[in-house]
Structure 1
Amino acid sequence: MMNPENTSREILVAVGGEENIISLVHCATRLRFKLKEHVKANKEQCKNIDGVITVVESGGQFQVIIGNRVSEVFNAIQAITQLGNNDSAAAIKNDDGEKEGLFARAVDIISGIFTPFLGALAAAGILKGLLMMLTALGWMSPQSGVYIIWFAAADSIFYFLPIAIAITSARKFGANAFVALSVAGALVYPTLITLFNNKAALDFFDIPVILMRYTSSVLPVIISVWLLSLLERFLNKHLHDSIRNFITPLICIMLIVPLTLIAIGPLGTYLSLALANGYTFIYNLSPILAGIVAGMGWQVLVIFGLHWAFVPIMYNNISIHGSDTLKPLFAPSNFAQAGAALGVFLKTRNPKIKQIAGPATITGLFGIVEPIIYGISLRYKKPFIWATVGGGLGGAISGFAGSTAMAPGIPGLATLPIFFGPGFTGFICAITLAFVFTAVSTYLFGFNDNMEKEMLANVGEHKKPVKRSTLVAKSV
């Protein structure tokens, strides 16, 4: 069994030590390092660490894929380092001293902002879905105390989403988290919400304030905290040490809050509307074609960690429309990968491959697909191709059915309640087809035990690949 403490120490050595790390976050399966110098990291050494599935360098990040126990390794690293306080807004440079590309930096920023609270959002989304199912079936009344309390628990993080985003954005941009919280808190302050609901007029030194609803909003607070970080650095540079600790926050709150309400907030809201409407326009052109493209392409993006570029679209859709149609399009691809693992499990007679494919099938059904991708489907190639086809077929059905998701969450059996609503039956058909089609296709056409022998012969090794695969089995 993997020892998180030992694994964390070995990973730190492999990435070049704590002094080579700018920041570290984690998602459901990956440690996402932002490194000062990538040349100091030993990718092959890191791959061979007990508990590490593989390593991917993408989006300006050094991504160490662990699997289900990633949070244990992350916590172990935090316990023996000072990385929890190392988030920086400094410009990121690559090994040649040049600034990274805009897309790579955007992916890094998005993942850094959203990953810390994904688990809480997923849990809240599942609870909201369960409550919807219970009330739709007539098993619970919306007026009951149980429903009211559970709904408050489920809806609170969505209602106060700007505050959660403000905290993580402050860490990412290098701003004071509590000042950022004050800015976000003003956006959801009850008095301002009441004025908005009553369609009241408000001005700031005779400058009209466009009142809007910012609960559950995404872009306005991110833009505001980014500007806050710039203002803080400017003030801290020019104010004397004796007054900096309280004058900087004072000036920031006095300037950023009204600036947000007058200009940044409305601008961010209009950008959010434009983004949501733009996606809806493309989706409405052909939901089936959109489903095919998303279902076939999503796992390719996952391989390189580039799927984060689409996360703001999903959050924004939920914020603007109350639901999202993008997640149901790519969700079947997760079940397709699980089907590929099942096909290999049923076809192989190699006990070591069965040790990998069996547990990977189960974790894949619950949305954790990296052990399948790196341990099975990409390893033998054809299972990945069939999973891509299966994901596309499932995505097409979801698009045809108009399936929606009401909350974020990794698509899997545990998160099915977040898809309860329009197109839910079609969504169940989509994931079932993706899973069964890929399992059968992989069993019949996508795998045989000779693939393992041929692969070992091609690389000229007969033991190391098996050892690497065993690591995958342990990590799940």
Structure 2
Amino acid sequence: MDTEKTAQQILASIGGEANISSLVHCATRLRFKLKDTSSADKAITTDIDGVISVVESGGQYQVIIGNRVSEVFNAIQSLLQHSDETANNNTRETSQSEQKETLFSRTVDIISGIFTPFLGALAASGILKGMLLMLSSLGWMSKESGAYVIWFAAADSIFYFLPIAIAITSAKKFAANIFVALSVAGALVYPTLIAMFNDKAALDFFAIPVILMRYTSSVIPIIFSVWLLSLLERFLNRILHDSIRNFINPLICLMVIVPVTLIAIGPLGTWLSLGLAQGYEYIYNLSPMVAGVVTGIGWQYLVIFGLHWAFVPIMYNNISVHGYDTLKPLFAPSNFAQAGAAFGVFLKTKNPKIKQIAGPATVTGLFGIVEPIIYGISLRYKKPFLWATIGGGIGGGICGFIGATSLAPGIPGLASLPIFYGPAFTGFIFSIIFSFIFTAVMTYTFGFNDNMEKEMLSDNKNKKENQINNQPKLSH
């Protein structure tokens, strides 16, 4: 795949640069926010070399690339000529047009825009943290050693200062001043305030009591703070004269937003975080095994439409509140089940073209990238997807039954296994192995044969012929 050529063709197929309001990417997808979706030609985009599929969901035009998505993203970024000011104007225009969208679509768009940019760093930090925990638990590395201390600082820093990372991406999403947003987030983790919280000291703001909270690793408070900051900035830009706007606007914002955050938004956001975590825990504890089965079966359907991002804040919030998450282990086996489906097809088929797709897709699936499998194998032939959902559901039920947990965010796969290290780690390993083998065997035995490809090609040919025959004929 020529990434430059692919980037140019994608831009052309979606209506050009002028039709883009925003663009982010996750592990496998380019997530466009388009001003006019009717200007994008889905069929043309899908036929571009390097594009696996196109999904319109959650208010986004999602172009599925696979492992090389970051390369294509960078190539597109190099073609875009937006200045920061233009990008901010586009974001504001998007905010006005979003009124026509559903609340759920807007929520998914906001969540993906905030969390996707630093997902790789979080995943890497989580894996390193899990590795260090494993090494120390096995007695292979002392927690007092210099190497452990330095590596743990590297692994834990982004979690400790998570409000700062979220402030950057939230500011871009809400079109707020990034450096003012950083200042607000920095105040939340300022050493003096943390020390006062630890000492249970009293604090007031002009006689207004301040409820001190621990905001390190927090998620929700800073998102609401930056959103409020963006509203205040826009209001001040309308009323302040150009000659003083550049420094008076940030001054007023800092003087207002930081106290408001510490007095109201922060505590309310923290209580909302606790309520969200407790609500999830209540549902989970009703029957962890049933929760695992439902999550394991349903997760891949969410992935198809890119709607799984709606659950990302729950996982982040669980880690922030409890120090661990129980949701990610419930759907982790479904990724390995999809890899098993691809492997079953790879073993069964005698068609070299299908083998060329199924073999590499199996490898990427084992490392958590399942879109090439879903769109290239399992959904294409339908039955492999069915067996993958069943295998994922059984594996999720096992994880719920044994109480598997994850220490950090990250795409479930072989490379991220350390983030699942804990008392139920052995059971978790069993669940993903079972999901992979079960799905591979059932797909090989009942879920695929080479006639499926021939039948599908024949059906597609008949559909095209019918479309041609049904077209109105011009009279002369």
TM-score after normalising by structure 1: 0.95
- Output one character per residue of 1:98-125: Cα deviation in whole Å (capped at 9) or x when no partner: 6100000000000000000000000000
| Aligned-partner Cα distance in 1 for 2:145–2:93 | 51
Q: Per-residue deviation at 1:288?
A: 0.3
Runs of 4+ in 1 over 4 A off after TM superposition: 91-94
Quick one: higher RCO (CA 8 Å, sep 6+), 1 or 2?
Answer: 1
| Aligned-partner Cα distance in 2 for 1:98–1:443 | 48
Counterpart in 2 of 1:469? none
- Percent identity for Structure 1 against Structure 2: 76
Residues 301 and 83 of structure 1: CA distance in aligned 2, closer, same or farther (over 3 Å): farther
Partner amino acid, structure 2, of 1:334: N
Counterpart in 1 of 2:255? 254
Partner amino acid, structure 1, of 2:340: G
Secondary structure at the counterpart of residue 131 of structure 1: helix
Partner amino acid, structure 2, of 1:248: N
Q: Per-residue deviation at 1:426?
A: 1.2
- Output one character per residue of 1:426-455: Cα deviation in whole Å (capped at 9) or x when no partner: 111110111000000000000000000000
| Aligned-partner Cα distance in 2 for 1:426–1:296 | 19
Residues 333 and 7 of structure 1: CA distance in aligned 2, closer, same or farther (over 3 Å): same
Residues 83 and 33 of structure 1: CA distance in aligned 2, closer, same or farther (over 3 Å): farther
Counterpart in 1 of 2:60? 61
| Aligned-partner Cα distance in 1 for 2:65–2:286 | 39
Q: Per-residue deviation at 1:82?
A: 3.0
Partner amino acid, structure 2, of 1:263: A
| Aligned-partner Cα distance in 2 for 1:163–1:70 | 26
Counterpart in 2 of 1:319? 320
Secondary structure at the counterpart of residue 57 of structure 1: strand
Q: Does the CA contact (< 8 Å) of 2:21 and 2:94 recur in 1?
A: no
Secondary structure at the counterpart of residue 111 of structure 1: helix
Q: Per-residue deviation at 1:140?
A: 0.4
Q: Does the CA contact (< 8 Å) of 1:288 and 1:396 recur in 2?
A: yes
Counterpart in 2 of 1:412? 413
| Aligned-partner Cα distance in 2 for 1:124–1:91 | 33
Secondary structure at the counterpart of residue 270 of structure 1: helix
Counterpart in 2 of 1:38? 37
Secondary structure at the counterpart of residue 31 of structure 1: strand
Unpaired runs of 5+ residues, structure 2, are: 465-476
Q: Does the CA contact (< 8 Å) of 1:122 and 1:407 recur in 2?
A: yes
In the TM superposition, 1:214-363 aligns within 5 A as: 214-363=215-364
- Output one character per residue of 1:113-168: Cα deviation in whole Å (capped at 9) or x when no partner: 00000000000000000000000000000000000000000000000000000000
Greater CA deviation, 372-381 or 426-435? 426-435
Q: Per-residue deviation at 1:461?
A: 7.1
Q: Does the CA contact (< 8 Å) of 1:219 and 1:272 recur in 2?
A: yes
Counterpart in 1 of 2:176? 175
How much is the aligned-residue C-alpha RMSD, in angstroms? 1.3
Q: Per-residue deviation at 1:460?
A: 0.7
Secondary structure at the counterpart of residue 100 of structure 2: coil
Partner amino acid, structure 2, of 1:42: D
Q: Does the CA contact (< 8 Å) of 2:13 and 2:40 recur in 1?
A: yes
| Count of matched residue pairs | 460
Greater CA deviation, 38-47 or 423-432? 423-432
Counterpart in 1 of 2:386? 385
Counterpart in 1 of 2:8? 9
| Aligned-partner Cα distance in 2 for 1:286–1:357 | 36
Counterpart in 2 of 1:82? 81
Unpaired runs of 5+ residues, structure 1, are: 464-476
Q: Does the CA contact (< 8 Å) of 1:91 and 1:99 recur in 2?
A: no
Q: Per-residue deviation at 1:254?
A: 0.4
Secondary structure at the counterpart of residue 23 of structure 1: strand
Q: Per-residue deviation at 1:423?
A: 1.3
Counterpart in 1 of 2:23? 24
Residues 30 and 109 of structure 1: CA distance in aligned 2, closer, same or farther (over 3 Å): same
Partner amino acid, structure 2, of 1:211: L
| Aligned-partner Cα distance in 2 for 1:451–1:144 | 58
Counterpart in 1 of 2:467? none
Partner amino acid, structure 2, of 1:254: M
Counterpart in 1 of 2:199? 198
TM-score after normalising by structure 2: 0.95
Q: Does the CA contact (< 8 Å) of 1:93 and 1:100 recur in 2?
A: no
Residues 98 and 151 of structure 1: CA distance in aligned 2, closer, same or farther (over 3 Å): closer
Partner amino acid, structure 2, of 1:182: S
Greater CA deviation, 379-388 or 417-426? 417-426
Counterpart in 2 of 1:374? 375
Counterpart in 2 of 1:112? 113
Secondary structure at the counterpart of residue 460 of structure 1: helix
Q: Per-residue deviation at 1:462?
A: 12
